[in-house]
Amino acid sequence: MLEQDHSVRRIIALHEEVEQLRRAVVSHAVIDQAIGVVIALGGLSSDTAWNVLKEVSQHTNIKLREVADHIVQWPRCEWLPPEIRQALNAALDRARHVPGSARD
């Protein structure tokens, strides 16, 4: 009976791990897409665009994945939450004035 309980717990743990990995893959894809939007918007390198996203997340206290989701949807819905828009504009301004931040 103990062995069966252990097996059931292991199966449950593996199912939870698979679900976490699925969420991580989706989240990663959205963040990559948002990096692409920031690259197109600001003419930045991918590393600089990644830093811009992190900065927006930190300055707005909004999770990075949520910021990325808003930025990815922005071209379609033509709306960006004001706090994200303000932080994004400020981060882009700062990034454009850093040597080496332009597209390689």
Q: Is the confidence at residue 101, as pLDDT, over 80?
A: no
Q: Give the pLDDT confidence score for residue 50 in this predicted structure.
A: 96
HSE-up of residue 98 (Cα within 13 Å, Cβ side): 18
Q: Is the confidence at residue 36, as pLDDT, over 50?
A: yes
Task: State how far the Cα of 69 lies from the Cα of 30, in Å rounded to an integer.
Answer: 6
Q: Is the confidence at residue 102, as pLDDT, over 60?
A: no
Residue 98 main-chain phi, psi, to 5 deg = -100, 125
Q: Is the confidence at residue 103, as pLDDT, over 90?
A: no
Confidence (pTM): 0.75
How do the domains of the chain map onto residue ranges?
2-96
Q: Give the pLDDT confidence score for residue 100 in this predicted structure.
A: 56
Contacts with 35 (C-beta within 8 Å, 6 or more apart), sequence order: 46, 49, 50, 53, 68
